[in-house]
Chains A and B, each alone.
Chain A
């Protein structure tokens, strides 16, 4: 089964605090994992993907196949990081990209 889980609907932190948005997946094959972000009144856009192994806007995510996780992390949150974050799962055995239920990140000043 192809499934992605984001256990937190809402994550609230203060500016400067570390952030970790959790994502777990279930997939029988080689997964492709993505994080998408939707800022207020803007379109959904790609933040990063696991094969790129890059840091975007200070965010990183490491694919942990043992724990079937792809958590999104940032050491110091900024107010402009406040947005809706979606973890998405695809792979070589599927045509579908499915999304988790999303986590709303609120960063307070």
Chain B
């Protein structure tokens, strides 16, 4: 009965490839997020979706494209992967439309390694 689940847990790929990370939440939350944690453990928001609509789009290269087929899913597709994309990507969800007030529930993270 995992609340926020991401797949895959580990992803190793070569530069230039295209890859996707999937996220699903069964909490009935309206809002989902992608955060990136770099090698120094710095955690930065990338995107948020509220009921399938894009709410936050930080300064992220357009090689990153989130897709939300329904409010329980938020996938992240990355084109033309670069070495600097190596990081841990966390999916999260929150109950209401603003993660700035409601607690976030995080997935286990996807460790992406680009070689």
Q: Which residues of A, 72-108, contact B by the 8 Å Cβ criterion?
A: 84, 86, 89-92, 94-99, 101-102, 104
- Distance (whole angstroms) from the CB of B26 to the closest CB of chain A: 15
Among A13-21, A41-49, A59-67, the stretch in contact with B: A41-49
Q: Which of B42, B100, B105, B106 contacts A94 (CB 8 A)?
A: B100
Q: Answer yes or no: B104 CB below 8 A from chain A CBs.
A: yes
Q: Which of B56, B90, B92 contacts A95 (CB 8 A)?
A: B56
CB contact under 8 A between A101 and B41, given known A95-B55, A95-B56: yes
In the assembled complex, the Cα of A5 lies from the Cα of B104 at a distance in Å of: 20
Q: Answer yes or no: A25 CB below 8 A from chain B CBs.
A: no
Majority SS at the chain A contact face: strand
Taking a contact as CB atoms under 8 Å apart, the answer to whether B100 and A97 are in contact is: yes
Taking a contact as CB atoms under 8 Å apart, the answer to whether A44 and B103 are in contact is: no
**Residue tally, chain A, CB below 8 Å to B:** 24
Name the interface size band of chain B: 20 to 34
In the assembled complex, the Cα of A91 lies from the Cα of B98 at a distance in Å of: 9
Q: Which of A46, A84, A89 contacts B103 (CB 8 A)?
A: A46
CB contact under 8 A between A90 and B106, given known A95-B55, A96-B56: no
Q: Answer yes or no: B108 CB below 8 A from chain A CBs.
A: yes
Among B43-51, B59-67, B76-84, the stretch in contact with A: B43-51
1/0 per residue B20-53: CB within 8 Å of A?
0000000000000001000011111100100000
- Distance (whole angstroms) from the CB of A89 to the closest CB of chain B: 8
- Distance (whole angstroms) from the CB of A85 to the closest CB of chain B: 11
B98 cross-chain contacts in A, Cβ below 8 A? 90, 94-95
Give residues in B with beta carbon < 8 Å to A: 4, 35, 40-45, 48, 55-56, 90, 92, 97-101, 103-109
Give residues in A with beta carbon < 8 Å to B: 32, 34, 36, 42-46, 49, 84, 86, 89-92, 94-99, 101-102, 104
